[in-house]
C-alpha cells in the first residue's frame, strides 16, 4: 500500500460499505472474553484468535481498518508474516490503541481520566515504523448522580485533543473516542445531554490544540438508554436523537463518525446503525468501529479450538456483511436468518 495523505486515509477508513474492526482488547479484557468460552488467555491463543479474524476470506470487502493492541501489532502469523503486513496486503489499514487505560480522576469520586500522554510522541513514531496508519484513544464518561462533572469532561477533552495533535504530528490519523457509558439507569435524554456537553468540550479542545478536523475521525457512543433503564428507546428514537446531537456538535469537516457498540448486542448495534443511515444524507459518513458487535458470534463459534476456525471465520464474515449493509442503510433483521 503506497503512502497516503492523512485526509485520504481518514476518508478511506469510512469508505462506502466498510468500517473498522476494533481488535484492540488489552490482555485483561481479552481474558474476560476468553473466560466466556473457557479458553486460557495465552499469547498463542490470542495470536490464533486474531489470525483467524484477519485472514477470513473476504474481510477486505467490509473492513477498512483494524485497531490493534501493542502486542498484536508486533505479532506474526503462523506463516511468519506480520499481522500489519497481512492487513496492508489486503488494503486494510492497521491502527493502534495508544492510551494506557482509564484511572480514577483525582478529587472527583466516580470519574475517570485516561492516561498515556507521557512518552506518547516516541511511541507514535515507533508505531508508525511498525506499520500503523491511524491510532485510537478512549475517554470514559460515566453517568451517575455525581457524574460527569465539568471538571471530568474538560480533563478528558483536553487529553483527547493533546493525543490527537501528537498523532497528526506523527503522520497518524487520530480516532477520537469520548465514550459516554451505557452503564446505569439513566434514560435516553440524560445520555443525550451528557453526550452533547462532552462533544462540545472535545471539539473546543481540538480547535485549541490545532487539530486538523479533515484528518481525524470521531468514535462516539450512540444516544441510547442506560442498561438499567426500565424504558428502552427503540432504534428510531436512538437514530433521531443521535443524529440531532451530532448536528449540534460535530463540524461538517470531520470526514466520518465511526460508532462504538458500547455493550449493545450484535443485532441491536446493527439495527441502530442501519436506522441512522436510512435517515440520510448527513455531512459526515456514518460507519462503525465495533469490537464485541463484530466478534461475539465468531468468538463463540471458535471456542478456543483449532478445528472450529472455519466456522468462526464464517460467523465473523456474516457479521461483517450485516454491519456493512447497515452502514449503507440496507440491513433488515430477516438477513440474520441466512447465517
Digit-coded pLDDT (tens) for 57-78: 999 999 999 999 999 999 999 9
The pLDDT, as a whole number, for residue 209 is 98
Banded pLDDT at 338 (limits 50, 70, 90):
low
C-alpha cell of residue 295: 466478534
| Burial call 318-328: b when 16+ CB within 10 Å, e when fewer | bbbbbbbbbbb
Banded pLDDT at 334 (limits 50, 70, 90):
confident
Banded pLDDT at 245 (limits 50, 70, 90):
very high
Banded pLDDT at 124 (limits 50, 70, 90):
very high
Banded pLDDT at 81 (limits 50, 70, 90):
very high
Q: Average of pLDDT values for 278-305? A: 96
Distance of CA 74 to CAs 69, 83, 127, 166, Å? 9, 8, 9, 22
The pLDDT, as a whole number, for residue 169 is 98
Residue 309: count of CB within 10 angstroms of its CB = 17
Q: Where are the domains of the chain?
A: 6-338
- Catalytic pick from 11, 111, 177, 266? 177
Nearest to 255 by CA among 1, 5, 3: 5
Active site residue 219: yes
**179, 259 contact by CB (below 8 A):** no
SS3 197: helix
Phi, psi of 152 (to 5 degrees): -65, -45
The pLDDT, as a whole number, for residue 2 is 64
Digit-coded pLDDT (tens) for 189-243: 999 999 999 999 999 999 999 999 999 999 999 999 999 999 999 999 999 999 9
| Residues near 335 by beta carbon (within 8 Å), at least 6 away in sequence | 321, 322, 325
User: The whole model's pTM is what?
Assistant: 0.96
**CB-count burial class (<10 Å; 0-12, 13-18, 19+) for 264:** buried
SS3 52: helix
Active site residue 100: no
- Catalytic pick from 18, 97, 136, 219? 219
**Topology given in CATH for the domain delimited by 6-338:** TIM Barrel (3.20.20)
Q: How far apart are CA 339 and CA 319, in angstroms?
A: 9
Cis omega (within 30 of 0) for bond into 177 = no
Digit-coded pLDDT (tens) for 143-180: 999 899 999 999 999 999 999 999 999 999 999 999 99
Give, for 178, the enclosing helix (H) or strand (E). strand 173-180
Amino acid at each position: 500500500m503506497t503512502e497516503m495523505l492523512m485526509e485520504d486515509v481518514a476518508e478511506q477508513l469510512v469508505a462506502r460499505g466498510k468500517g473498522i474492526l476494533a481488535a484492540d482488547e488489552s490482555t485483561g479484557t481479552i481474558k474476560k472474553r476468553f473466560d466466556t468460552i473457557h479458553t486460557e488467555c495465552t499469547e498463542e491463543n490470542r495470536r490464533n484468535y486474531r489470525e483467524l479474524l484477519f485472514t477470513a476470506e473476504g474481510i477486505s470487502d467490509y473492513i477498512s481498518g483494524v485497531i490493534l493492541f501493542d502486542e498484536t501489532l508486533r505479532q506474526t502469523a503462523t506463516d511468519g508474516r506480520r499481522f500489519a503486513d497481512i492487513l496492508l496486503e489486503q488494503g486494510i489499514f492497521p491502527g493502534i490503541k495508544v492510551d494506557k487505560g482509564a484511572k480514577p480522576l483525582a478529587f472527583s469520586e466516580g470519574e475517570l481520566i485516561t492516561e498515556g500522554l507521557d512518552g506518547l510522541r516516541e511511541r507514535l513514531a515507533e508505531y508508525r515504523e511498525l506499520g500503523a496508519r491511524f491510532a485510537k484513544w478512549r475517554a470514559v464518561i460515566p453517568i451517575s448522580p455525581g457524574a460527569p462533572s465539568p471538571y471530568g469532561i474538560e480533563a478528558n477533552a483536553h487529553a483527547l485533543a493533546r493525543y490527537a495533535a501528537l498523532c497528526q504530528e506523527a503522520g497518524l490519523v487520530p480516532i477520537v473516542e469520548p465514550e459516554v457509558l451505557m452503564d446505569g439507569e439513566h434514560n435516553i435524554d440524560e445520555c443525550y445531554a451528557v453526550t452533547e456537553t462532552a462533544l462540545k468540550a472535545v471539539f473546543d479542545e481540538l480547535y485549541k490544540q490545532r487539530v486538523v478536523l479533515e484528518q481525524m475521525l470521531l468514535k462516539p457512543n450512540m444516544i441510547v438508554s442506560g442498561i438499567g433503564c426500565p424504558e428502552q428507546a427503540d432504534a428510531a428514537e436512538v437514530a433521531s436523537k443521535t443524529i440531532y446531537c451530532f448536528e449540534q456538535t460535530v463540524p461538517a469537516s470531520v470526514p466520518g463518525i465511526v460508532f462504538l457498540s458500547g455493550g449493545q448486542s450484535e443485532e441491536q448495534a446493527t439495527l441502530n446503525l442501519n436506522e441512522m443511515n436510512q435517515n440520510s444524507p448527513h455531512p459526515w459518513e456514518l460507519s462503525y468501529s465495533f469490537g464485541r458487535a463484530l466478534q461475539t458470534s465468531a468468538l463463540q463459534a471458535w471456542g478456543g479450538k483449532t478445528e472450529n476456525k472455519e466456522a468462526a471465520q464464517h460467523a465473523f464474515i456474516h457479521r461483517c456483511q450485516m454491519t456493512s449493509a447497515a452502514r449503507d442503510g440496507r440491513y433488515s433483521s430477516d438477513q440474520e436468518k441466512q447465517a
